[in-house]
Chains A and B, each alone.
Chain A
Amino acid sequence: DQQVKQNSPSLSVQEGRISILNCDYTNSMFDYFLWYKKYPAEGPTFLISISSIKDKNEDGRFTVFLNKSAKHLSLHIVPSQPGDSAVYFCAARSAGNEKLTFGTGTRLTIIP
């Protein structure tokens, strides 16, 4: 049972435009969500997170939006840069539990 789903395995975006990566979850106990970025032959790198008490968190070019009623979150990258080309993982955990449940990832390619 996939509790965190990233339905788009890949996404291509023109440099300078907005990249939107989506993530859906089924477990209503999740209360903290994270996005990780992964380059080939490296480990996932933490990018941005959001607690369930918020609906938006922004850090520079990266913004995460959380819609609890829809059990949906998204990561916006604007403007997109070639260095943003990577695999992006959505992850979630529930209160008091350190276990992270990961989605299967979306490969983002920024076209120069």
Chain B
Amino acid sequence: DAGVIQSPRHEVTEMGQEVTLRCKPISGHNSLFWYRQTMMRGLELLIYFNNNVPIDDSGMPEDRFSAKMPNASFSTLKIQPSEPRDSAVYFCASQFRGAFSDLNSNQPQHFGDGTRLSIL
């Protein structure tokens, strides 16, 4: 079974450039999450979608960051313009979200292998 697929795996670019990270969630999953991992802050949630709709973007650091999910099988995280402090590993995760009232519907999030982003 294909897991969460992220591309590119590595990205090195100069500050000021636009960066686009891509994610394909697991088929059938209806929630998608973007995380950033840094040494200082660990794994932090940036934004998540449910049924392609952004639900919570309170973790997005600045207006330079934007995320879209045009359909159930694709999402992008864009940084424009990029800055050196954006250097981090960015993870995408997906999950099947069941009914709120059903405790058995608790499902874990499944992560991609991440994109290591370096802004020079």
* Interfacial residues, chain A to chain B (CB-CB below 8 A): 32, 34, 36, 41-46, 49, 51, 53, 89, 95-96, 98-105
Contact = CB atoms under 8 A, between A and B. Distances in A.
Given A43-B91, A104-B42, A34 B55 contact: no
A49 B106 contact: yes
Interface residues of B, number: 25
Given A32-B106, A43-B91, A98 B42 contact: no
Q: Is the interface of A mostly helix, strand, loop or mixed?
A: loop
Q: Is the interface of B mostly helix, strand, loop or mixed?
A: strand
9 contacts: A32-B106, A42-B113, A42-B114, A43-B4, A43-B111, A44-B111, A46-B110, A51-B103, A99-B48
B31 to A, nearest CB: 6
Contact of A99 (B4, B45, B108, B111): B45
B43 A49 contact: no
A49 B111 contact: no
Given A98-B48, A100-B45, A46 B109 contact: yes
B95 interface: yes
Given A43-B93, A43-B113, 7 more contacts: A43-B91, A43-B112, A51-B106, A98-B55, A99-B56, A103-B42, A105-B42
Interface of B: 4, 31, 33, 42-45, 48, 50, 55-56, 91, 93, 95, 97, 100, 103, 106, 108-114
A54 to B, nearest CB: 10
A83 B7 CA distance: 27
Contacts of A32: 106
Contact of B31 (A36, A89, A98): A98
A103 B112 CA distance: 19
